[in-house]
């Protein structure tokens, strides 16, 4: 079901590509965030050279960072591209409710004379990715979405095996616990109120994210989408994230079919976002006419990008974000393995055409 290699929607590029070194021929805006991982610098490092490829830069600064953010390093990388004074946008992770209006007020004035916006999602939370893309949906120019992959993701396979016997090992997992459920205006939908609820969630190493969603909503059905890493040495993670959610999967087993290998049939790449679009579109076709679809943004960053396009396809979908209580900030995720980008021309028109195909 999730192994589709080609996107089913016309005009939507399915596969992301290797990074392109840009020239100084356009008025560009850089939109990124300060992060604590080396990958927050991955794409900018690929653009090395004293050339003015950007006209302006906006950087989201977390007011409650989970680790030492590479602020000086990111500003230095931008200065080498002739941006000396990027504008900081403060973002309170613990109270993010004003970020939608704040970003809209700052971003929309750039839409008139900017030809291209480069949005680096590598250091952004999944909520920020969704909000930024939603605001940019009215931008008529080119969106260049860039993403840097770290060398390693926690936990290692050995750490995961030990965690089954020693709960203290969960401290090595990417996120722990959950603080609150965040609902944003641009991600909400009041349609189908009072109808049975179908929750769609992505498996992850933090099972409490889904548990907290279920603590606020009693669904008619719960559908899981598993994540399949493109790296062969990480294929074990598909089985591991499923095992973590097995109690829920068994409780809602009629809605979560298992293949002959004992894995969830609904599985999408953690990198190639087109598979997520296809999978959720199929779920919507099967259940969306009579049930309210609520998606929990618990997947990878690129699965989250796919979730945004699903919201464009089907505005009736409601998206919620369970905020992790803490992030794993030390040890792994060293270096940058690959840097990818996705070039979307005529962004607002592309989204309008995408929506027409769903009707």
pLDDT tens by residue, 67-125: 678 899 999 999 999 898 999 999 988 888 899 999 999 999 999 999 999 999 999 99
How far, CA to CA in Å, does 52 sit from each of 23, 49, 256? Answer: 8, 9, 51
- The string of pLDDT tens digits covering residues 136-183 is 999 999 999 999 998 888 888 888 888 776 544 444 444 443 457 888
Averaged confidence pLDDT in the chain: 87
- C-beta separation of 232 from 198 below 8 A: no
Stretch 226-232: mean pLDDT, rounded?
A: 94
- Does the pLDDT of residue 43 top 50, yes or no? yes
Q: Which of 198, 204, 185, 90 lies closest to 135, judged by CA?
A: 185
Q: How confident is the model at residue 15 (pLDDT cuts 50, 70, 90)?
A: low
- Does the pLDDT of residue 327 top 60, yes or no? no
Q: How confident is the model at residue 50 (pLDDT cuts 50, 70, 90)?
A: low
- Does the pLDDT of residue 201 top 60, yes or no? yes
- C-beta separation of 336 from 38 below 8 A: yes
Q: Identify the pLDDT of residue 275.
A: 92
- Which residue would you say has higher pLDDT here, 279 or 13? 279
Q: Identify the pLDDT of residue 165.
A: 65
- Does the pLDDT of residue 10 top 90, yes or no? no
- Which residue would you say has higher pLDDT here, 4 or 271? 271
Structural domains for the chain? 17-152+333-358 (3.40.50.10770), 157-327 (3.40.50)
Beta bridge partners of 75: none
DSSP state, residue 264: B
Q: Which residues have C-beta within 8 Å of that of residue 36, sequence separation ≥ 6? A: 65, 66, 67, 68, 69, 70, 123, 329
Helices assigned H by DSSP within 197-343: 208-216, 236-244, 246-251, 273-287, 301-313
Neighbouring C-alpha atoms within 13 Å toward the C-beta of 228: 17
Q: Identify the pLDDT of residue 135.
A: 97
pTM of structure:
0.91
Cα separation, 326 vs 320, whole angstroms: 18
- The string of pLDDT tens digits covering residues 233-271 is 999 999 999 999 999 999 999 999 999 999 999 999 999
């Amino acid at each position: 079901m999730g192994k589709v290699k080609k996107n089913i929607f016309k005009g939507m590029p399915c596969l992301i590509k290797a990074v392109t070194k840009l020239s100084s021929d356009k008025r560009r805006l850089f939109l990124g965030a300060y992060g604590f991982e080396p990958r927050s610098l991955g794409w900018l490092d690929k653009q090395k050279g004293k050339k003015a490829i950007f006209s302006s830069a906006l950087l989201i600064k977390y007011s409650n960072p989970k680790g030492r953010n590479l602020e000086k390093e990111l500003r230095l990388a931008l200065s080498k591209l002739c941006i000396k004074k990027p504008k900081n946008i403060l973002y309170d992770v613990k109270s993010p409710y004003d970020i939608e209006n704040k970003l809209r007020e700052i971003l929309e004035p750039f839409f008139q004379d900017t030809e291209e916006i480069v949005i680096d999602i590598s250091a952004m939370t999944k909520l920020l990715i969704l909000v930024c893309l939603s605001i940019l949906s009215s931008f008529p120019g080119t969106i260049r979405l860039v993403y840097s992959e770290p060398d390693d993701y926690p936990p290692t396979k050995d750490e995961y095996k030990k965690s089954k016997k020693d709960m203290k090992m969960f401290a090595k997992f990417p996120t722990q616990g959950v603080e609150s459920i965040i609902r944003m205006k641009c991600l909400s939908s009041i349609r189908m109120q009072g109808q049975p609820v179908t929750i769609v969630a992505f498996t992850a190493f933090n099972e409490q994210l889904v548990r907290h969603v279920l603590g606020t909503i009693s669904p008619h059905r719960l559908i899981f989408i598993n994540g399949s890493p493109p790296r062969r040495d990480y294929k074990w993670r598909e089985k591991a994230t499923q095992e973590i959610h097995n109690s829920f999967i068994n409780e809602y087993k009629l809605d979560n079919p298992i293949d002959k290998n004992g894995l969830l049939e609904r599985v999408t790449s953690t990198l190639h976002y087109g598979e997520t679009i296809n999978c959720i579109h199929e779920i919507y076709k099967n259940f969306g006419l009579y049930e309210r679809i609520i998606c929990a943004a618990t997947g990878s960053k690129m699965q989250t990008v796919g979730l945004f396009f699903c919201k464009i396809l089907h505005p009736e979908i409601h998206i919620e974000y369970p905020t992790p209580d803490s992030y794993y900030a030390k040890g792994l995720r060293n270096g940058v393995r690959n840097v990818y980008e996705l070039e979307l021309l005529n962004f607002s028109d592309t989204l309008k055409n995408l929506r027409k195909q769903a009707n």
